[in-house]
Amino acid sequence: MIAQNEELALQQQRQKSMEKKQKIKKHEQAREEDIMEKKKEAEKLKRFQELYEIEQTMSKQKKQEEKRNNMRAFQLGPYTPYSLTLDGSESFRDPGKLAAYLEEQTDKKEELISKTAAEAVAKKNKQRCEKEKMKAAMLRKLKYKKQEEKQNAAEMINASKAADFF
């Protein structure tokens, strides 16, 4: 009878201990999820800031290019009717052709800048996705390991109960 009471008390103590461990694990998991969420938000904010900075840089470059083109057009203005050549082959006797050519060059540069910026953003997104996949895989492994530990603990308890029963 005393042995049975002791066994019952021991089982209750084990049960309380397991419940306490489970509470701690749940709390840790919730904390980890909160940390992951905060990291995601920080990365998202950082991405938006980078995009804003890229847009600002592109805008500045565009304004500077426009300013240079205007200065070139102004400085080359008197010489245009005679023999201004660009690329060694084409003569711009008409100021309209020169302006169109300069605008085309500006458009090409803007396109190149936007393409480069888009590639940079795509690369960062790909890296971020790979990191998230790795984190998710690690979390799955941890979860599986925890479940395995719980199962092993339950099997050990059942085995000790069976051994104590006989």
**Is the confidence at residue 143, as pLDDT, over 50?**
yes
Instruction: For residue 110, give the nearest of 73, 71, 60, 53 by alpha carbon.
Output: 60
Half-sphere exposure of 41 (CA within 13 A, CB side): 6
Does the reported pTM lie above 0.75? no
Asked whether 121 and 54 are in contact (CB, 8 A), the reply is: yes
Of 11-20, 51-60, 72-81, 132-141, the poorest mean pLDDT is in 72-81
- Supply the mean pLDDT for the chain: 84
Structure tokens at 89: 């082959």
* Residue type (1 letter), 152: N
Longest Cα–Cα distance of the chain, Å, equals 118
Half-sphere exposure of 93 (CA within 13 A, CB side): 2
